[in-house]
Amino acid sequence: MDRRNLLRGGAALAFLAALPRRLYAAATGYPRLLDGPMVGATTPESFTLWSRASGAFDVAVEYATRRDFADAQTTAPVAATQDNDLCTAVEVKGLKPDTAYYYRIKTDGIDDRHQPLPFRTRTAPDRPRPIRIAFGSCARVQLYPDQPVFDAVAAMEPDLFLWLGDNIYADSDSETAFSAMYTRQRNVASLVPLLRSVPQLAIWDDHDFGYNDSDRRNPAKGMTHRLFNRWWANPAAGLPDTPGIFFRHSFGPVDIFMLDGRYYRDPPKAPDGPDKTMLGAAQKAWLKRELKASKAVFKILASGTGWSRAEQGGDSWAAYLHERDEILDFLRDEGIAGCFGISGDVHQGEANCIPRSDQGGYDFYDLVSSGLAQYLSPKFVDQHPEVRLRAPWVRSANFGLLDFHFDPEPRVELSIRDVVGASATGDPIVLRAADLVNGRQSWRAAIDADELERRERAERGGSYYGGE
């Protein structure tokens, strides 16, 4: 009996040895991914894949243009180390623009047995074509573990997704707490397909920078900065001599300026004035320099907190109006066209505008999305942005959508979408590139008729939401 068992065991081992390694590597402790993969920064010639391994193994990407991987290539391996909590970002280079690629992660040379099928993503375009960018903020996995809004985001098939802060709610000075929140959020079932296929770029806000309303005095910002860079695959983070998470990213004819509104932020309650800053001198100089250098038709200024003065007593640009207006004056004085803003933080969806055409510039729009998975707040009834273009949305989770078109003329449609992807704020706001040039007034054509009536009533001395 023992001899027969031995022979059967030997035959089984021989059979397993004849199989490809990816089919029989099923022993306990098999090298695999704990988190990811997630697509990060993408260019016409490359894409980056973030992941977190189950041990200190080499991580590589096998990629192909064919579903059967007949033309497969594999990147050089990148070591997942304990020093970086086993996180890696592997850049796949030498690719064709605007092309779909299949990929799979190889950990210690082995395919992940828990993710046996390949994923697919796409390189960025190198010429004008319709582009769809989705964005949002505020994902509190502790309260909302399901997050169905990401099913709607994925159904819209965006080319790019932008996280505008409060991407986790750590509210801690503990590295363990941050890592735990990051890994929980990365494994939300509705989010996983989006992470695998659509490029993800991110900035932070207070809850993933430190505690609520944190500013430059946050004593843990060195740690949170290190963890942010560990868990995201952005194309850059600050400057060599200026720590931070800000960067510029080009996607076709669109330039995206992702701003760091926390690392250098003066306390919000300090009196506003020419010296009060949200960005810090070096980041602001960088922004001006990069805006002047940009040749993009449209330029998105992405901020964790709102650009309008709606939250005058809150934690937004309303407490830094001197610096905000300095930036808007710079756009006017340097003749930099095509800029508009997006932001988050406020637990509601909004579409606001800062009218600058009467000062020789052009009207600056701010599309606000919050939250992806967070309780909503109807505080808009006590807020007064310069111009409210649409009634705010507080009935469900929401995300922002930017649809760019370049034929027959460059234009972008701005909309807030609800938890099932329907338009939450009425008709999209349509901005032509020709609207975003000095001296051009556009907000009156963009405002909803009901909001215009409310605005005119308030200007006559009545209540915005009440009677005369």
pLDDT in tens, the chain (468 residues): 444 443 344 444 444 444 454 444 444 568 999 999 999 999 999 999 999 999 999 999 999 999 999 999 999 999 999 999 999 999 999 999 999 999 999 999 999 989 989 999 999 999 999 999 999 999 999 999 999 999 999 999 999 999 999 999 999 999 999 999 999 999 999 999 999 999 999 999 999 999 999 999 999 999 999 999 999 999 999 999 999 999 999 999 999 999 999 999 999 999 999 999 999 999 999 999 999 999 999 999 999 999 999 987 778 999 999 999 999 999 999 999 999 999 999 999 999 999 999 999 999 999 999 999 999 999 898 899 999 999 999 999 999 999 999 999 999 999 999 999 999 999 999 999 999 999 999 999 999 999 999 999 999 999 998 766
Tell the residue number behind the tokens 């975003």, with chain if given: 436
Distance between start and end Cα atoms, the chain: 98
Backbone φ and ψ of 129, nearest 5°: -160, 165
Q: How many CB atoms lie within 10 A of CB 465?
A: 12
Query: Quick one: which of 288, 458, 279, 303 has its CA closest to 386?
Result: 458
Contact (Cβ atoms closer than 8 angstroms) between residue 201 and residue 237: no
Beta bridge partners of 105: 61
Helix (H, G, I), strand (E, B) or coil at 259: coil
User: In whole angstroms, what is the distance from residue 416 CA to residue 355 CA?
Assistant: 21
The predicted structure's pLDDT at residue 468 = 67
**Span 131-459: which CATH code?**
3.60.21.70
- The residue type found at 287 is L
> Helix, strand, coil shares of the chain as percentages rounded to 5?
25, 25, 50
The predicted structure's pLDDT at residue 29 = 65
Tell the residue number behind the tokens 């004085």, with chain if given: 333
Contact (Cβ atoms closer than 8 angstroms) between residue 105 and residue 49: yes
Burial of 266 (0-12, 13-18, 19+ CB in 10 A): buried
Ranges of each domain in the chain: 23-122, 131-459
The predicted structure's pLDDT at residue 84 = 97
The predicted structure's pLDDT at residue 312 = 79
Burial of 464 (0-12, 13-18, 19+ CB in 10 A): middle
| β-pair type (110-111, 100-107) | antiparallel
Q: How many CB atoms lie within 10 A of CB 355?
A: 16
- The residue type found at 232 is W
The yes-or-no answer to whether 23-122 and 131-459 have a common fold is: no
Interior angle at CA 39, CA 33 and CA 45, nearest 5: 125
Tell the residue number behind the tokens 């695999």, with chain if given: 32
The predicted structure's pLDDT at residue 18 = 46
User: In whole angstroms, what is the distance from residue 130 CA to residue 407 CA?
Assistant: 9
Q: Which helix (H) or strand (E) holds 402?
A: strand 399-405
- Please state the length of the chain: 468
**Span 23-122: which CATH code?**
2.60.40.380
Q: Which residues contact 331 (CB under 8 A, 6 or more apart)?
A: 291, 339, 361, 362, 364
- Alpha-carbon separation of residue 438 from 155, 172, 294, 332 (angstroms): 37, 44, 17, 6
- State if pTM tops 0.85: yes
Interior angle at CA 281, CA 328 and CA 205, nearest 5: 75
Which tokens belong to 314? Answer: 């809150």
Which tokens belong to 168? Answer: 């986790």
Q: Which residues contact 310 (CB under 8 A, 6 or more apart)?
A: 316, 318, 346, 350, 352, 380, 383, 384, 385
The predicted structure's pLDDT at residue 215 = 97
